[in-house]
Every structure is written in C-alpha cells, then in structure tokens.
Structure 1
Amino acid sequence: MRTCLLLVVSILAIVTTVTTVTTVTTVAADAPRPNVIVIMADDLGFSDVGCYGGEINTPVLDGLAAKGMRLTQFTNTGRCCPTRASLFTGLYSHRAGIGHMVNDRGYPAYLGRLNDRCATIAELLTPAGYDTLMVGKWHVGTDAPNWPRQRGFTRFYGQPTGGGSYFTRKTDRPFVLDDKPYEPTEPEPATYYKTDDYTDFALRLLNEQRAGGKPFYLHLCYTAPHWPLHAPEADIERYLATYQDGWDVIRERRHAKQKALGLFASDVVLSPRASEAKAWTEVPEKARADWVRRMAIHAAMVDIMDRNIGRVVAWLRETGQFDNTLIVFLSDNGASAEVVDRGESGSVIGAKGSFAGFNQPWANASNTPFRRWKSIVHEGGIATPFIAHWPTGIPAGRIVHQVGHVIDVVPTVIDLAGVTYPTAIGDRALAPLDGISLRSVLTTGTVQPHVPLFWEHEGNRAVRRGDWKLVAQNGKDWELYNLASDRSELHDLVKERSEIAEELITAWQAWAMDVGVVMPNEFKKKAK
C-alpha cells in the first residue's frame, strides 16, 4: 500500500494561475520577439565556471555573465531526466511522466517518457511562428515515438539517450538526425569530439533556418562534463598543475572567490569536506597523480564546452542576431559523485577506451560551498549556475538572489515570446503550469516572491517556502534550514522550529500525492 500522504486542499493555491484557452495564441508586442538559446551542461558543479567561483577557464560564460545576469538561488531537480522533463514542459517531472529516469516503472508519474498531459516548449513555440531546434542529449523518451520531432521540434540532432564516448559516434547509444538514425556520409575524423559535433550541428541548423526569417528557439544540451572523462591530451595537460594541491585547497579557493564576486555574503560558511573524501594530506603520494588527472580532465571538458559556446556567440554576432537573442545557461544537476571506473584494460583515463568519473572528492569540490551532489536534493545536488544574457532586454552585470527552478523556464520563455499557455492542444488536455514567469526578474533585476517549490528523487525529498527548506535523504529524517542565514545547510532547526517543519511536511505530502510520487520502498513491494 502506498505510504499515507495527507492531501491538503490549500496546497492547490500554490499552482500558478494560467489563462484558460484551447489553442496556442500570441500576444502583440511592440518589440521583435527574441530568439532564445537554452544551453544545458551535464553534471556541472555549482562552482565549476569562473563566474561562479571556479578556476576553470570559461571566458565566454564569464563574459555573458558580466554583460548579463546571474541568479544565485536557481535550482534543478537533482538528476538529468527529471530536470529535462521539467525544463521542456514547465511541470514537475512526475506530473510530466518522468518521476525517475527513462524506464517505465508502472505508475503514471513514472512512465519513463513525456506523457500527453504536458506540452513541450516546442509544442508551444512552433505554432506561434518559431523555428524550434534541439541539439544534443534528449533523455526524456528513448523510442522513436517519443523523440523531439514527435514533441514539436522542427529539427533534431543528437542522442535520445545521451551518454557514451566523446571520441566516436559508434556506440550503443545511437545518434539521430530529425526522425532517423544518423548515418554520416563521410568517415568519422580522427579528431572527432562530441562537444564539437553538437556545436557543428547547432550552427548548421541555425544557418538552415535563417532563410525562413523566423525567430528561433535552440535547445543545446551538451553532455559535458558528464562521465566518461574524455578530452584531448593537450587540453588535459593545461590543467594538471592547477590541481596539484588537491580538493581541500580548491574548495577553499573557490569559496573565497565566490564571496569576492558577491555570490554569497561574507558570513556564508564552507560546508565540511564530505565524509566520503579523505583529507588531501592523507591521500597516498602514489595515488595523487591519478586524482589530479581526473579533475584536470573534468576541467578540460568544461573549458572545451565554453569554447564551443563561444562559437555560437560568434555566429550570433556575425549574423546580427546577438542583441535580440536571450541566452540561458544552466546545469541539469550538481556534480556527480558516482564511482565510475571501467573501460578497456590498460587505457589511460581521459583517452579513447577509458571510462571513468572524477568521483566523490572532486564532486564535493565542484559543488562548493554546498553539501552532497547529484541525485540528492540538498543544495549540492540541485543548485545550478544560471546565466541569462540578452542585450536588448536584460540589464548588464547583475547578480540577483532570486529563487527559481527549472519549471520556471517555459513560463518565462513563452511570456517573452508573447505566447499564452493553453488548456489543451488538439484533444490533449494539458496540466496547468507549475512554474512561474521570471520575466520581470530578468528585465528589471528585481527579486520577486516565489511559490513553494518541491523535490523528490529516489526518496530524496525537499520543499522550500521562502527562506525555509525542509530536506531529507531517502530513509532518513527530515532536516530544516533557514537558507537566508545558512545556505550551506549546516544548522538543522527541525527541533527548534518544529511548527514550521510540520507545516512543510504537510505541504510536501500534499504535493507528493498530487503529482503521484511513489517512494522507493513501494517500488520494492510491487516488485515482490
């Protein structure tokens, strides 16, 4: 039997009110509608890019941040598939059918694909006159009926499932162009690298759509820096010296830089080193070179991604579309602590044939100053960099401490595009949006209140209302934090402020019932 969840009618009040219409309509605007490019990194830590505290060379992203806006409290769902489901639809991932990953687990919230009650951003923008392009990792539907073209995108190149080698397309995770498996007409070059390939196709599709004169929406989903750790040796070598001092020093340096940049107040404390990681001074000398190389490869992958984003920015400038293009950059979850060490015997980590991750100690550093990592919904798992750049619409150089979630991207984009969210598309009744538009935040830099936000992934769960966040790992007790004074989640107030904790527990239970959450122990019971 499903764990008892208390249904509270008042929770329905948190859902954003939407206009009741039955078709996608546009709203007249004096200014031209912006082009939109949403760029998503994969397993990027909160502090990896330079403008969020990192030492990795990311001049393109840093430049966009300097001339645009950074949000310091934007969040994802903590895992790749659910984040993408919410990012594409404006709904909580469970409501969209992807409460976990892309396997059907036998419940409506766990279909492993986008359901018929959600509309993708492409299904909203394409009828409104946009060319909608998808390049990279899709990961919200593995089989052909659930690929991007079947969900409204006009063009698609990439992998329905994502993952695999960076040095070849010849893997068990096929590439697709539009509706069919991609079969290149030329031999694969020896210098093939997936991040470059995704950018090549993004630019190709952008050039092809120009003739129609329509505004465009490009969803560019890189797989970098998700494992396997793969990068050209010359790029790796540039970072080997950077990480010789180990993860403890890197965490301290990043935290100091974050405060100097104004991302956090001076009293925000660096979380203790993860219990899964040794002090660097305790790491045997003979093991250090391997650890240094892992982080150097991760850094190289981020560096290469930044250079490729630079190619897209250069194209926008060359074609005269830079000023009226909104560019958004974020990550699908925090850095990954998954212990990955497989590959061909004798292969060097970072080279073709290797298959490794950078594992828990470096994930902890990448998520500075927070605790935990990917899949867990403490801040280290869900906090993401969020850079927004739009010369004609966003004031330059702002750091805004706005709370946000990936469910807010669709409402914001359609608001800027003058598109009203429908109650139905054809005979498909749609669930109302869960997210809210952050248009006024982007265009004015003014913080606005946010409706309560909720998370659940593999039994890890959380709710945030204002500055209060209630959070728990699967099978563990609830913890309560005031993020205004304790962003690193170090001082649990669940006993001192039990009345707030009880309110938030009730709210989370109501939300979980509403969206169809099934806890891990219930899946196990069903399996028996």
Structure 2
Amino acid sequence: MKRRSLLLGTATLLSMTAMAQQGKQPNIVLIMVDDMGYSDLGCYGGEIPTPNLDNLAKQGVRFTHFCNTGRSCPSRASLLTGLYPQQAGIGMMSEDPHSAEDHGVHGYMGFLNRNCVTMAEVLKEAGYHTYMAGKWHVGMHGQEKWPLQRGFDHFYGILSGASSYLRPHGDRNLTLDNQQLPPPDQPYYTTDAFTDYALKFVDERPKDGKPYFLYLAYNAPHWPLHAKQADIDKFVGKYRKGWQKIREARMKRMIKMGLIDKSWGLAQWEGRQWDELTEEEQIELDRRMAVYAAQVHCMDYNVGRLLNYLKEKGEAENTLVIFLSDNGACAEPHREKGFGTVDMINDPDEWVKPSYGLPWAQVSNTPYRKYKVRAYEGGTSTPLIISWPEKYAEYDGELRHTRAFLPDIMATFIDASGATYPKTYHGGNEIIPLVGTSMFPILTNPDVELHEYIFGEHFDNCVVWWKNWKAVKDQASKNWELFNLDKDRTERVDLSREEPKILKQMTDKWKEWADTHYVYPKSK
C-alpha cells in the first residue's frame, strides 16, 4: 500500500497540541540506553530475557525503522532538542573531562548551544516538573551547560560520556544537581542507582497536581563490561554456540515477528567463523558476551521497577513512555576481542576496558550492516517502543514500518503535552525551528509518511533516506553507495551504477541540507 504523505508544518503541529490541552496532560517518561544493538531485546528478536520491555511493547507500538545519528553524543543532542545535531552544536563529539571539542563553529562546539531548547525547557514552560537520571554527555565544562541549567529540576548521574559502573570517580564522577560527588559507597551499580534516583525524584515531587517529565538515560550496555555477578551467572556458557548460530537464531525470530523480511538475508560477516577459534578463545568470548547480556538484563529489570512504580501509583494509564537506544551496538576498538583482557571485567577503576568486540556487535545488530558510528543500518537503526495505555493500548504491540528519527520525539512530546515550541529563548536568543514531527499519526495510521527526506553526517559518514532508497558515503570511501531498502535493508547490493539519476537527486539534496544545517565548515 502506498503511504500517504503527512509533512506537518509548525502551525499544523501547534494546532495538534491544542488537542492535548483538552484532557489531562500525561506524565512523560523517556528511557534511553547506550550502545545497545537493534536485536538485543526479546521483543526485537533477541535471546536476552527482557520481560519488562517486552510487556511495555505489548501496551503500545514497536518501530522497525527509527533512525539515529550513529553515535551517543550527537544522538543525545538531536533527541533533547528536536534538531539535527549540528544545529544544536554537537556534530562531532561532546565535551569530556580532558576534551573541549570546540572547533569554533556553530555545528561543532561540543555542547548544546543557546539557539536550541531542550525537552526539559519546553515542557517546564508547559507546567511540567522535569527530572533526569543517568548519562548527560552534551556539555560539561561550566555549570551553564549542565542539566539544571538546561531545564531540569533535579539531576543525578554522569556528565561525561563513560564511567565505571561500579565506582564512578575522578573526573568521571557522579553529580547530584549541581554538586560533584565523591566515589559512592560500595556496593554500587549505576543502572540500579540511576533508577533509584529517578524514582526518588518522581516520588518526592511537589504534590501540586502538575505532570512530570522524566529522562532516564542508562549508560548500559556501553563499555566497560561491568555487571553484577548474579546476573553474569545467568548467561555464562549460553554463548558457546557462537556468533553465527546466535545471529541466525535471532534472524529467524525477527522474521517470525515481522521485524524484517526473509529476502534480505544477513549483512556481510566481517570476521572469522566461530569454529575457527580455539576452545580457550571461545570460553573468553562467551564470557564477554555473557557480561554484556547481564548489563542488558539488569537494565530491563530496572525498567520494570519504574513501570511497577507507575502501576502502584495509579499513573501507568496516563503516562507516555518512549524507550530507545542511542545508536547501534559498539564494535570499538574494532577487534575480535574488543578492549582489554577478560580479567579486567568488573574492575571498578576501569571506565573503558574491557568491551565485547566487533563480532558480537554484529550479532547485536542482526541482521544489519556495520555498527556504531557508521551510517549503514547497523549503526543508525534503533529499536523504539511507544506506550501510552490510555491512548494506544489497543494496538497491542503492533509494528510500524514508517521511517522516523530522533527529532520526532521532541515533536511528539509537544503534541502530547500541549507545550509550545518557542521562537526565542535564553534571554531573547533566536531558536532554530523544530525539525521533528509528531509520531502519533503513525500509531493510528501505519501508512502515514512523516518525512520525504532524512539526512545525517558524522565524521564523514554521510547518509540520506528517501522513500525506499538510502544513499551512504562511508568514512572509508569517497564514493556514494545506493541501496533499495525495501528489497535489501541489509545493504548488500550497491545500485549506484544502475540508478545514477536517483543517486544524484539524493546526493544533491544531501548537499543542500549540509550547506544549510551547519555541517560545513567543520572548523575555523
């Protein structure tokens, strides 16, 4: 069936928000996980037990083609502001403890600029209490860049891009509101602690009848491999089947669920076959994946804690929950065994090592090509769940194949809350117009098309989606490739030579976008 185009302008979007004001504003909960692959959740075909997210999906809708920017910090910038990341100031990397990342131009400042507004700033103006727990990663050098100065009433978490799960310390420590904290008492685990504070903030909010917005940004399952032993023990030995068998089993489940088309097959495998490994290597790689699975499993348990709280308080029906991952699974440092050695697992002093390696990242992104950073589907495809039982429980876990992307989440929250996206803010600064469009029309009409084109660029990984086509220029190439996603979403057949007119049309549009959205220049 041909999709009906719905390209909403600002005026139309604002008229839609009037609908939200006719009823009680919903609470809004946004849950983002870090570096989790497309097929890691049970409801997306994975073998890792994620019963709470599976149940959440049954109360709403799963998206099969939601697009991210390929990496954590630009994805968070785009998510929080409803803009392309370069418009918000984080086209490359965000500030980290020893990295300012300011290239002296609008698109590459390394922190959220003052020509954008965050979800918290917008929803606060609509009467919401605003809370955040977890990973910030959109600016840290100077308190004016911290969450409380960008609209949140309370914050607990890490300002940097990565930290120890077991003992965040040093310059990758914890922050409560505007206060830097010493290393936490033991035992400690970030996934649990972030949830503890999220529940604390919500439970202790003023009893004034106003709704709340909660942004819960887990660092799981980003490296390092840190997990609770009881969770690890559930998975050790289960991955001795090897990369190929786990991947093939995921694909079969995904086909059965309707998430993918059988004709696409699996993307090209980049490494050795499992049976080429020694027994010692298999044992080590099984353990790495077991810890990763434990991180995902614990995250799901904590999502369950939050969802149970909503039920106990009688708030579940009128709470809009969106769950997603910031990008595809992470293959860094692009070696078979990943960062570090297996004996570094659960070293509380580590904040990078170890990781689970490139082949497991490919498994996490089943069936798609590549991984985090790259513009192929394995890097830019995100599992996304929308649940609002009062409005959409009737859809009972249905799939939506319409393409959407990160800025649409801001627009969706505006639609739900009746908020107004401002033209000026921050003392009169002009605010860049919203890029996103509310996703609610997709939920009620699967044939709606929100965007004619979606664009992206990160470290010279360039991409444009149009209808059933996708054009990609990889960081390792000077040439654009072209793929027909209806027939080949695993991007195995480059059609750039067969369809030069389509490719030119798409790349011309990409250049037009890049020239008007601060992609260039990249530095002074």
Q: Shared fold by TM > 0.5?
A: yes
1:251 to 247, 258, 270: 247
Cα pair distance change 1:118/1:243, threshold 3 Å: same
2:98: which partner in 1? none
Counterpart check, 1:460 vs 2:461? yes
Counterpart check, 1:41 vs 2:33? yes
1:403: which partner in 2? 403
1:480: which partner in 2? 482
Deviations 1:438-465 (A, max 9, x none): 1212345553342310010000010001
1:216 to 212, 219, 228: 212
Q: Is the 8 A contact 1:76 1:384 kept in 2?
A: yes
2:387: which partner in 1? 389
How far 1:267 sits from its partner (Å)? 2.0
Q: How do 1:232-381 and structure 2 match up within 5 A?
A: 232-274=228-270, 277-339=271-333, 340-342=338-340, 347-353=343-349, 355-381=353-379
How far 1:269 sits from its partner (Å)? 1.3
Cα pair distance change 1:197/1:366, threshold 3 Å: same
Q: Is the 8 A contact 1:26 1:128 kept in 2?
A: no
Deviations 1:216-256 (A, max 9, x none): 11110000000000012221121112101111111101000
SS of equivalent to 1:220: strand
2:53: which partner in 1? 61
Q: Is the 8 A contact 2:324 2:385 kept in 1?
A: yes
Cα pair distance change 1:237/1:264, threshold 3 Å: same
Question: What is the distance in 2 between the residues matched to 1:236 and 1:330?
Answer: 23
Question: What is the distance in 1 between the residues matched to 2:249 and 2:47?
Answer: 9
Q: Is the 8 A contact 1:43 1:333 kept in 2?
A: yes
1:516: which partner in 2? 518
Amino acid at match of 2:321: I
Q: Is the 8 A contact 2:7 2:450 kept in 1?
A: no
Amino acid at match of 1:433: L
Q: What stretches of structure 1 of length at least 5 have no aligned partner?
A: 1-13
- After TM superposition, the structure 1 stretch with the greater mean CA deviation from structure 2, 454-463 or 347-356, is 347-356
TM-score by length of 2: 0.91
Question: What is the distance in 2 between the residues matched to 1:206 and 1:21?
Answer: 29
How far 1:272 sits from its partner (Å)? 2.2
1:169: which partner in 2? 168
Amino acid at match of 1:365: V
Amino acid at match of 1:208: E
Question: What is the distance in 1 between the residues matched to 2:185 and 2:193?
Answer: 11
SS of equivalent to 1:329: strand
SS of equivalent to 1:288: helix
Q: How do 1:78-227 and structure 2 match up within 5 A?
A: 78-102=70-94, 103-143=101-141, 144-182=143-181, 188-209=184-205, 211-227=207-223
2:3: which partner in 1? none
2:23: which partner in 1? 31
How far 1:265 sits from its partner (Å)? 2.5
How far 1:169 sits from its partner (Å)? 2.8
How far 1:20 sits from its partner (Å)? 11
Question: What is the distance in 2 between the residues matched to 1:112 and 1:282?
Answer: 43
Question: What is the distance in 2 between the residues matched to 1:77 and 1:15?
Answer: 21
Question: What is the distance in 1 between the residues matched to 2:237 and 2:476?
Answer: 41
2:497: which partner in 1? 495
Question: What is the distance in 2 between the residues matched to 1:200 and 1:303?
Answer: 17
Amino acid at match of 2:309: W
Q: How many residues align?
A: 500
1:70: which partner in 2? 62
Question: What is the distance in 1 between the residues matched to 2:33 and 2:416?
Answer: 23
Cα pair distance change 1:50/1:28, threshold 3 Å: closer
Q: Is the 8 A contact 1:21 1:424 kept in 2?
A: no
Amino acid at match of 1:152: G
1:6: which partner in 2? none
Question: What is the distance in 1 between the residues matched to 2:354 and 2:131?
Answer: 31
SS of equivalent to 1:63: helix
1:52 to 44, 47, 50: 44
1:469: which partner in 2? 470
Q: Is the 8 A contact 2:173 2:182 kept in 1?
A: no
1:231: which partner in 2? 227
Amino acid at match of 1:391: P
Q: Is the 8 A contact 1:98 1:140 kept in 2?
A: yes
Alpha-carbon RMSD: 2.1
Percent of pairs with identical residues: 43
Q: Is the 8 A contact 2:175 2:181 kept in 1?
A: yes
2:11: which partner in 1? 19
Question: What is the distance in 1 between the residues matched to 2:472 and 2:48?
Answer: 31
Deviations 1:465-511 (A, max 9, x none): 11110001114111001111111111111011100000111111111
How far 1:46 sits from its partner (Å)? 0.2
2:97: which partner in 1? none
Question: What is the distance in 2 between the residues matched to 1:138 and 1:352?
Answer: 21
SS of equivalent to 2:451: coil
SS of equivalent to 2:497: coil
Q: Is the 8 A contact 2:35 2:326 kept in 1?
A: yes
Question: What is the distance in 1 between the residues matched to 2:139 and 2:443?
Answer: 31
